[in-house]
Structure 1
Amino acid sequence: MKKYLLLLLGAGYGLALQAQPERWQQKVKYTIDANLDVNTNIVNGKEKITYWNNAPDTLNRLFIHLYWNAFQPGSMMDVRSRELGKIILGKNRKGEAVQDWDPRVRDRISKLSSSQIGYQHVKSLRIDGVEQKLIPHETILEVDLKKPILPHTSTDLAIEFEAQVPEQIRRSGRDNVEGVRYSMSQWYPKIVEYDYQGWNANPYIAREFYGVWGSYDVNITLDKNYLVAATGTVQNPDEVGFGYGKSEGVPQKAGDKTTWHFKADSVHDFVWAADNQYKLIKRQIEDGPLFYFVYKRKSADDDTKWNLLADSVAYVYPYIARTFGAYPYHNYSFIQGGDGGMEYPMATLIKGPSLGTALHEFGHNWYQGILGSNESLYPWMDEGGATYFQTRIFGWLHHDSTWYKASYRSYYYLAKSGLEEPMSTHADHYNTNFAYGAAAYGKGAVFYDQLAYIIGKKNMDAFLLRYFNTWGFKHPNANDMIRVAEKVSGLELEWYKNYWVYSTKTIDYAIDKVSSVQNHGVVELVRKGDMPMPLDVLVTYKDGKQEMYNIPLGMMYGHKPADNNYYPWIFAPEWRWTSPTYQLELSRPNTDIKSIEIDPHGLMADVDRLNNTLN
């Protein structure tokens, strides 16, 4: 077994990664005892929470997430979904109107009965034995503290709650289309993150999450015929059975219930799922984590597909570790659940044995789980990062040099739709579901792919590891990310962040004409778009020889290194962003030229590539 990167500090909290920048983090320790009645779908629970205020600020109130209150008719999630569904994006091939629904939600919440809704009721909340004043705001509970929490002190909370598991609609719920009984995400009262920007008390509208890192000690009691898969590591494997320990199948014990005990350190959330027909398979990676694959077996074909997924994940993991950083926890669970793919620390809920979905969700454990950027404010840092993670691994696995193109197609469609909004838009406040999805996933992934074009492939690989090692468990923002890329590459890159994240300006470069000066060809290039970029220009001569000209952008104050040895690289003078045209002087006469192409590898997100080539 490898010596994991996870180094437990104090009460089992913290990860020591090299060269950590200073940024205070709040800290929380949960001890949860939950009892699920599989006949009534009611969870009764008790939480003991220790909350460390490591901020320089005095806290006069706390906020707590109560996510399941969103699954009630008339909730903010319900109203928002139905309002977005009124937007017509266009027409499909049949001439039918395309509405801007989230197809998983639509108007389903408005139709839930009292037995189908979700709710989370805090029955009591005490601090030092004293009941606190509670002010409900649907999915956010405000706690008006009778005694403030001073800087660099801690406080202990005791919470009793009751919750009804909603019918599966979004992320959480019971009895989804896959037939899985329980997908238990956002299932407990959870402390809202307080960081250098203040409280992040985001109501649950539909999308992303942000949480306090800490430790979880969780006991889950339910019908003993149910296998449970969860965040963390099971502490009583032989007692619970089902292959977690030495015993297989339903545990042989008195009584009709089993208590599952899980622990997790340095995570910001805890998810679990349960079903009475789940099956568990394992893959132990040499000097790496133990992977669990938990699925609902309906036929022998399911066994074949899930074993293939398990073998594939085991095969690609070494590439993942050396490219993105080693997974630092003991184990990770791929769990068949509802709603596509849902990311949580040390686990994911996926509908089926799709390798693409599995890799995307696994990638979230880097960008959402370990780096932990604020998904609400910067959804593209996480969703785009996980998409880049997924597509890059697929490219390596299939020896496909065009793996990135699907993300570019998504971005181009967005840029030409008239609906694009800056990627700095809060995840819940995009005007359309379409614009959010294309920006967070497509344009977000292009941010990473295009960064490799700007700083060079070797620098990009160094950036990925240094970003992981520098900002793990620090909640990096967009500036933190770009500063790592600057330090790795030696280039100034603030302009890239500002244009790509905070604006909707597009890239479009063209070859205008070729002339000759003193027996040297001169290529006149034109910037037709509003976003400036460095350029790679490949010149092919009639004798078959090639030269790659790199034109750095003036604001970079330098240039990337040569990306390959296929042809000579020539570094031209910088192009100042204020100039719409540029004259590139070649080493040979224009009569020798066969063709000229801007960005031959297609990594610059030029919205009109038809004017990039001259033959």
Structure 2
Amino acid sequence: MVVNYSGMYGNKTGKMHLTCMIILLLGVVPNFYAQDNVVNYWQQYVHYTIDVTLDTTYHALQGYEKIIYKNQSPDTLHNFYLHLYPNAFNDPNSTVAREAKKFYLYREIPQKDRGYIAIKTLKILSLNGKTSDLPIGAYYVEDTILRLTLPEPLPPGGSLVVEINFYEKIRKLIAVSGYSEGQYDMGQWYPKVVVYDENGWNREPLHLFGGDYGEFGTYDVTIHLPANFIVAATGVVVKGDPGWDRVQVDTSLGEDAWQKHYRNIKQQLTQEARQNGFKAVTFHAENVHDFAWTASPNFIYEKGAWRGIPIHVLYREQSKKQWGKVVVERARQTLQWLENKFGPYPYPQVTITQAIKYGREYPMLVMNGSSGERTVAHQLGHLYFYAAVSNNEHREPWLDEGLVTFQTQWYMESKYGPLGYNKKELLKRLPMLFKLYPLPGIREIATTFTNRYLHSGHNEPIAKASSEFKDIMGFGMNAYLKGAFFFDMLKYVVGDSTFEAICHEYFRRWKFKHVNEHRFKQVCEEVSGQKLDWFFNEWLHDTPTVEYGLAGVKKIKQPDGTWRTEVKIQRRAKGVMPVEVVLETGEGEKIIKRWAGRELTGLVVFETREKPGHVEIDPRDRILDNNRLNNGGSRFKFHFDLPMLNLYYAPRNAYLILWRPYLETNTIDRLRIGLRLRGSYLRDYLNLTLGIWYGFKSRELDGLFGFSHPLKSLGARTRYDISIQKIEGRFIANGHLAFRFSKNLTTPPVHLI
């Protein structure tokens, strides 16, 4: 998930949630793919023991941490590195702050609301088996990275034990971590070991966008907090009472009875906190690369299960109407679907909590900004990709965010069909007027929006580090939307059943390990039996646009009464994708063939007994084709020009014509009637305005003609407009060019001429 910074760093667009998937049979993937190809793979091992006390008066933590680190690499290590993430929100010159200034998101944090982590003591308890006479290693902190110089090298197979006492001032909520109104969402909060992998130490400081990268290991974490607080975390409770049972929602009670019961429970908990002070709760987690927790005196609790795996849901009491019963059931359905698509859920529990504001995922724990079905599906998808299968979210954010965004859309479409959402539920919430509006599908909206970005003149490759994108839009589009379409088009290229086999093998092979583009591509090629360099290079490392069009259709009746249909296709842009061609016969049968799409022109031939009918290319809209008006003959859609309809309704397969009658009065005619038509393709192309009015007294016929269209030969965002009108005896003509250009797409300044 993208780190979403506000407060000190302004507001960033939240997660763009769109994602996809279909149904996979268990056991479809045999275990014969190249003996796993992980023979030479290694990763370090870490065991954290943490004991921390929450001070709710001063919003602080007093912490003790012991780290057992095993060097399982083939390299000898001379230094040891830790992340001190909270320091990004104290120093106005931190990497996060500098990047926020670059994108005009910086806002000074009041001193009392800042957060930081201070190392009180750092001691090496053991190094290569030596437990005494070890000199204190010198350490140096720069930005959010601590470097400890080891007193002697740590060879392959060696071990290191470090003891840390730290103090953390918890910041008032910025991004996804901090406190607000009595709730503490604690992510990126403790001294965390930097990953050492085949590229060496990944000692990147915290960045404005992108997420985390951690070593898999074991966590034993004890949290001391006020006795009336309800706490949830990564891992399972092994000691102490998190408070769930005391505030569990009793679904057998009516709302009034429940409210009375809950008030009594809160009073009891508050009184116990006064008498007993603090409680301690210990969580244990294995095969995880991070640990997060959340605590509040205002949480209430529901529980469920999927296949014996507990589902814990905690939310604020005032959100019961939106969260009650709904989130548990949505989690159960999502887990069932994820297991069918990828494999058994790999952890012993699932916890979903209501975040203070922004959502964030951690192993076994997701903090959600809403109870929406798409949000629940997206966040739980991250428990597979990011939690169990872990990539470097800074270097390759698309590898989990793109996959999970795709995965979410796949799930929603498999449940609700092409719209990708629950139409009945949406109609219940819409005002009466808006129920008259056509409802576009999420895929159609996403495809249009993505194509706008591809043709904006600011398109960037997907495979860039989060800090390398030119602006916020570049990061969001490539990590999420374009990333999702990469996986969607990969599914289209290799075929549905093969893609599902890839999903199972990818998860099976790389569960509890680190992945990257190469490792994912290796699985794709082994399972599909295809060389996919062209696809990965084109869509990850280049900036292609796609446009194919029909160049001609010949329907020839053969001497024996059968028909031969020759379909000529042109490739009109740089991007290459296989192109589906569908022929519909007179009896309604649909025949689909595929052209590789690599040449500038191609010929697809159909031979049928029945007379051929309609021909269309890319009928399922799966290849990000920019212009679908030339895919199978011009189509028109007419609709009454409802208020703001053109702002969100833009069908990709038709030229939209909005019509509206006019009835008006003036001092000359008393009464005028007329009709106005507005036509456009995807709102921005071939914009046409036609109007005609008749005055009953003057018996004059007035009219309006206007046309606007991009002129991309002069720049991606250049448009020309012309208009001619006759109105009340006046003739007016107008024409102009508008040049709009900027260094970045969304970052000022933007110049308009």
TM-score normalised per structure 1 = 0.84
1:47 is aligned, of 58, 65, 72, to 65
Give the letter for the 1:133 counterpart: A
1:534 aligns with 2:586: no
1:522 aligns with 2:566: yes
CA distance in 1, matches of 2:613, 2:311: 53
Aligned equivalent of 2:298: 277
1:136 aligns with 2:144: no
Answer whether contact 2:309 2:349 (CA < 8 A) is retained: yes
CA distance in 2, matches of 1:190, 1:488: 36
In the TM superposition, residue 113 of structure 1 has moved relative to its aligned partner by: 2.2
Q: Secondary structure at the match of 2:447?
A: helix
Give the letter for the 2:86 counterpart: W
Within 5 A, what are the aligned runs for 1:560-579?
Answer: 577=598, 579=599
Within 5 A, what are the aligned runs for 1:331-350?
Answer: 331-350=349-368
In the TM superposition, residue 404 of structure 1 has moved relative to its aligned partner by: 3.9
Answer whether contact 2:229 2:243 (CA < 8 A) is retained: no
In the TM superposition, residue 184 of structure 1 has moved relative to its aligned partner by: 0.5
Query: Structure 1 residues 419, 306: closer, same or farther in 2, change over 3 A?
Result: farther
Structure 1 spans left out of the alignment, 5+ residues: 1-17, 86-105, 554-574
Give the letter for the 2:150 counterpart: L
Answer whether contact 1:408 1:443 (CA < 8 A) is retained: no
Give the letter for the 1:234 counterpart: V
Give the letter for the 1:24 counterpart: W
1:267 is aligned, of 284, 288, 294, to 288
CA distance in 2, matches of 1:288, 1:600: 43
CA distance in 1, matches of 2:98, 2:491: 41
CA distance in 2, matches of 1:317, 1:240: 24
Aligned equivalent of 2:81: 63
Could you report, residue by residue, the CA deviation over 1:243-269 in whole angstroms, capped at 9, with x for unpaired residues? 189998749686300111001000000
Query: Structure 1 residues 339, 162: closer, same or farther in 2, change over 3 A?
Result: same
Aligned equivalent of 2:702: none
Aligned equivalent of 1:187: 189
Answer whether contact 2:553 2:565 (CA < 8 A) is retained: yes
In the TM superposition, residue 24 of structure 1 has moved relative to its aligned partner by: 0.4
Within 5 A, what are the aligned runs for 1:46-445?
Answer: 46-72=64-90, 73-85=92-104, 106-108=105-107, 110=108, 112-128=109-125, 130-175=135-180, 179=181, 181-206=183-208, 207-237=210-240, 239-243=241-245, 250=269, 255-285=276-306, 287-298=307-318, 302-303=320-321, 305-400=323-418, 404-445=443-484
Deviates more, 1:256-265 or 1:600-609: 600-609
In the TM superposition, residue 588 of structure 1 has moved relative to its aligned partner by: 4.6
Answer whether contact 1:341 1:358 (CA < 8 A) is retained: no
Query: Structure 1 residues 545, 398: closer, same or farther in 2, change over 3 A?
Result: closer
CA distance in 1, matches of 2:64, 2:173: 24
Aligned equivalent of 1:603: 622
Identity of aligned residues (%): 30
Q: Secondary structure at the match of 2:492?
A: helix
CA distance in 2, matches of 1:413, 1:382: 23
Aligned equivalent of 1:446: 485
Query: Structure 1 residues 224, 79: closer, same or farther in 2, change over 3 A?
Result: same
CA distance in 1, matches of 2:541, 2:153: 37
Please tell me whether Structure 1 or Structure 2 has the larger radius of gyration of its CA atoms: 2
Give the letter for the 2:603 counterpart: Q
CA distance in 2, matches of 1:518, 1:594: 13
Query: Structure 1 residues 415, 581: closer, same or farther in 2, change over 3 A?
Result: same
CA distance in 2, matches of 1:197, 1:505: 29
Could you report, residue by residue, the CA deviation over 1:224-250 in whole angstroms, capped at 9, with x for unpaired residues? 11111111111125x443318999874
Give the letter for the 1:334 counterpart: I
Answer whether contact 2:140 2:146 (CA < 8 A) is retained: yes
Give the letter for the 1:223 counterpart: P
Query: Structure 1 residues 410, 361: closer, same or farther in 2, change over 3 A?
Result: farther
CA distance in 1, matches of 2:309, 2:247: 16
1:470 aligns with 2:509: yes
Query: Structure 1 residues 350, 316: closer, same or farther in 2, change over 3 A?
Result: closer
Answer whether contact 1:181 1:274 (CA < 8 A) is retained: yes
Give the letter for the 2:157 counterpart: H
CA distance in 1, matches of 2:197, 2:614: 54
Answer whether contact 2:455 2:545 (CA < 8 A) is retained: no
In the TM superposition, residue 186 of structure 1 has moved relative to its aligned partner by: 0.5
Give the letter for the 2:356 counterpart: G
CA distance in 2, matches of 1:440, 1:317: 24
Answer whether contact 2:220 2:284 (CA < 8 A) is retained: yes
Structure 2 spans left out of the alignment, 5+ residues: 1-34, 126-133, 250-264, 421-441, 559-563, 635-753
Answer whether contact 2:550 2:630 (CA < 8 A) is retained: yes
Q: Secondary structure at the match of 2:620?
A: coil
CA distance in 1, matches of 2:97, 2:320: 35
Aligned equivalent of 2:603: 583
Answer whether contact 1:53 1:150 (CA < 8 A) is retained: yes
Answer whether contact 2:248 2:300 (CA < 8 A) is retained: no
Query: Structure 1 residues 503, 288: closer, same or farther in 2, change over 3 A?
Result: farther
Query: Structure 1 residues 353, 315: closer, same or farther in 2, change over 3 A?
Result: same
Answer whether contact 2:77 2:154 (CA < 8 A) is retained: yes
CA distance in 1, matches of 2:556, 2:522: 41
In the TM superposition, residue 516 of structure 1 has moved relative to its aligned partner by: 6.4
Q: Secondary structure at the match of 1:605?
A: coil
Query: Structure 1 residues 317, 595: closer, same or farther in 2, change over 3 A?
Result: same
Answer whether contact 1:414 1:439 (CA < 8 A) is retained: no
Answer whether contact 2:248 2:302 (CA < 8 A) is retained: no
Could you report, residue by residue, the CA deviation over 1:530-551 in whole angstroms, capped at 9, with x for unpaired residues? 1212121101233433311122
Query: Structure 1 residues 180, 548: closer, same or farther in 2, change over 3 A?
Result: farther
CA distance in 1, matches of 2:177, 2:330: 27
Query: Structure 1 residues 422, 476: closer, same or farther in 2, change over 3 A?
Result: same
Structure 1 moving runs of 4+ over 6 Å: 244-249
CA distance in 1, matches of 2:621, 2:382: 26
Q: Secondary structure at the match of 1:372?
A: strand
In the TM superposition, residue 407 of structure 1 has moved relative to its aligned partner by: 3.8
Answer whether contact 1:410 1:443 (CA < 8 A) is retained: no
CA distance in 1, matches of 2:407, 2:358: 18
Answer whether contact 2:335 2:345 (CA < 8 A) is retained: no
Could you report, residue by residue, the CA deviation over 1:136-155 in whole angstroms, capped at 9, with x for unpaired residues? 11111112222221112211
CA distance in 1, matches of 2:470, 2:293: 32
